């Protein structure tokens, strides 16, 4: 899909401009295996102890997939949450940038605004966690999306990129909001 290439390029610009350190995983900590298990009622939970986060998604129509193929030397993509229809996704990226979450968000927003076919809202605080930021975007007349960005006390930056077809029913968009809203930092 053309959108995937454009978003990939915009995120690469933002991550590069953010001067990400080579490793997002905790320095000196053994790499613990990510686990999927039962979450709250009707949900499954993905937890990655080495990156200190957990995320839930509905059991029906959603699944967790490894994001390893999307990872790079600078950015870890531990998980992609995929809708059964395949057109809606939530991608989680983690890195250790050398800039603040606000500066990263501004750079990402600027990168998207300079790409043909993108429209964006402004960066604003969101209720996900203290200091979390977000914005919405649309690509052409095909795809809508949201970005949520937050950092932890160790300096890791977590970026959730959610996309769905413009014609999606409100219930699907509500499920995406629940997935993003379920994100939790572990051990803090």
Q: What is the pLDDT of residues 13-35, one digit of tens each?
A: 555 555 554 454 444 334 456 77
Residue carrying the six token digits 């043909």: 116
Which residues, 6+ apart, have CB-to-CB distance to 4 below 8 Å? none
The pLDDT score that the predictor gives to residue 100 is: 86
Work out the burial of residue 24: count CB atoms within 10 Å of its CB; fewer than 13 is exposed, 13-18 middle, 19 or more buried. buried
Structure confidence at residue 86 as a pLDDT band (50, 70, 90): confident
Please give the span between the terminal C-alpha atoms of the chain, in angstroms, as a whole number.
Answer: 38
* Residue 8 predicted with pLDDT over 70: no
* Residue 160 predicted with pLDDT over 90: yes
Whole-angstrom CA distances from 100 to 2, 76, 82, 134, 146 are 29, 18, 29, 14, 19
Tens-place pLDDT, residues 135-152: 999 988 889 999 999 999
DSSP H or E stretch at residue 3: helix 2-17
* Residue 91 predicted with pLDDT over 90: yes
- Tokens read off for 2: 């053309």
116 φ/ψ angles, rounded to the nearest 5 degrees: -60, 135
Q: Which residues on neighbouring strands pair with residue 112, listed in sequence order?
A: none
pLDDT averaged over the chain? 83
């Amino acid at each position: 899909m053309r959108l995937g290439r454009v978003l990939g390029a915009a995120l690469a610009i933002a991550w590069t401009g953010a001067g990400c350190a080579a490793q997002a995983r905790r320095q000196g900590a053994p790499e613990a295996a990510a686990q999927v298990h039962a979450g709250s009622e009707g949900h499954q939970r993905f937890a990655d102890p080495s990156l200190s986060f957990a995320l839930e998604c509905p059991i029906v129509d959603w699944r967790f997939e490894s994001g390893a193929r999307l990872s790079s030397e600078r950015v870890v993509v531990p998980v992609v949450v995929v809708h059964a229809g395949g057109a809606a996704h939530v991608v989680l990226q983690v890195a250790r940038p050398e800039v603040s979450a606000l500066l990263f968000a501004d750079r990402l927003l600027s990168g998207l605004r300079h790409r043909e076919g993108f429209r964006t809202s402004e960066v604003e605080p969101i209720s996900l966690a203290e200091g979390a930021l977000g914005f919405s975007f649309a690509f052409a007349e095909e795809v809508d999306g949201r970005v949520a960005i937050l950092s932890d006390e160790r300096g890791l930056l977590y970026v959730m990129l959610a996309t769905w077809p413009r014609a999606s029913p409100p219930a699907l968009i509500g499920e995406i909001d629940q997935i993003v809203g379920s994100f939790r930092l572990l051990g803090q």
